[in-house]
């Protein structure tokens, strides 16, 4: 199994195909497994890369809070691309992975060729909703500390297929990667200068308004609402999802 060593933290990744790169990042408490169908479909003309974030799946889960953060996550993404020989890629993800894709564009704009923003939010401008989000993230961490992996039962399809080795890693990830501390990502939306598509499942009610907001704020953004799909839109309706992404890539010359 391929791993990238990041100062002692092993980052698991998968690749398939040849050509321009697409980097796909999973949501919180999911794994690279959620992108299996996309690796198959888009590898005919792209190098498709999926990976497990720190604390998730087969990646390392250190017992050290300083080893988990938004900044380390986007740096892992950049390091993985460079390790595989890519200076640019289409950057995409679902839920936390979508947020991290936006954060990546803030941190490494020269490496983002386009953005696939899927069933996620862009963060918060005001402290009160951000603090409420963070409190919820800490509650998730507390539940995992108390109940282990059993605390993850239920939820949408991408979590159901995930296999994790270290519950403590997920607790750290909730406290230090899922939490947010500034409005920089949401404030960056009008400055995005690469092609972007915002995709949301028609039944993913918590993220419908956020998707509308992002599509309006990102200049020239494409928006795709996938019928009969919830939060795990690429698993709920894979054919419709793949068609939307393929059309976007083709239209964008990617």
pLDDT tens per residue, range 201-223 = 999 999 999 999 999 999 999 99
**Higher-confidence position of 15 and 148:** 15
Q: Structural domain tally of the chain?
A: 1
Q: 130-180, pLDDT tens digit by residue?
A: 999 999 999 999 999 999 988 888 778 999 899 998 999 999 999 999 999
Give the C-alpha separation, 171 to 152, whole Å.
11
Give the C-alpha separation, 246 to 250, whole Å.
6
CA distances from 157 to 9, 119, 235 (A): 27, 13, 7
Residue 149 confidence (pLDDT): 87
Give the C-alpha separation, 161 to 175, whole Å.
23
Q: Which residue segment(s) compose the domain that 201 sits in?
A: 3-251
Q: Is the pLDDT of residue 50 over 90?
A: yes
Residue 68 confidence (pLDDT): 98
Which pTM was predicted?
Answer: 0.97
- 44 by Cβ neighbours in 10 Å (0-12 / 13-18 / 19+) ranks as exposed
Give the C-alpha separation, 193 to 239, whole Å.
28
CATH classification at residue 159: 3.40.50.1820
Residue 2 confidence (pLDDT): 95
Residue 154 confidence (pLDDT): 76
**Backbone angles phi and psi of 225, in degrees to 5:** -105, 120
Q: Is the pLDDT of residue 115 over 90?
A: yes
């Amino acid at each position: 199994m391929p791993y990238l060593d990041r100062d002692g933290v092993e980052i698991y990744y998968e690749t398939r195909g040849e050509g321009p790169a697409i980097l796909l990042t999973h949501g919180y408490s999911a794994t690279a497994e959620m992108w299996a169908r996309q690796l198959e479909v888009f590898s005919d003309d792209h190098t498709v890369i999926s990976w497990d974030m720190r604390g998730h799946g087969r990646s390392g889960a250190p017992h050290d809070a300083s080893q988990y953060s938004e900044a380390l996550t986007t740096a892992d993404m950049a390091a993985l691309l460079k390790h595989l020989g890519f200076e640019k890629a289409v950057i995409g993800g679902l839920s936390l992975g979508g947020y991290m894709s936006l954060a990546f564009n803030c941190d490494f704009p020269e490496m983002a060729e386009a953005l696939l923003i899927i069933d996620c939010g862009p963060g918060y401008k005001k402290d009160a909703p951000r603090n409420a989000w963070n409190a919820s993230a800490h509650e998730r961490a507390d539940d995992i500390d108390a109940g282990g992996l059993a605390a993850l039962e239920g939820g949408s399809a991408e979590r159901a297929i995930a296999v994790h080795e270290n519950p403590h890693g997920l607790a750290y990830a909730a406290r230090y990667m899922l939490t947010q501390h500034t409005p920089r990502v949401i404030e960056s939306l009008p400055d995005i200068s690469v092609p972007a598509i915002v995709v949301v499942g028609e039944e993913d009610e918590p993220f419908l308004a956020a998707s509308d907001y992002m599509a309006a704020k990102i200049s020239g953004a494409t928006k795709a609402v996938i019928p009969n799909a919830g939060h795990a839109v690429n698993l709920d309706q894979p054919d419709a999802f793949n068609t939307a992404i393929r059309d976007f890539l083709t239209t964008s010359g990617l």
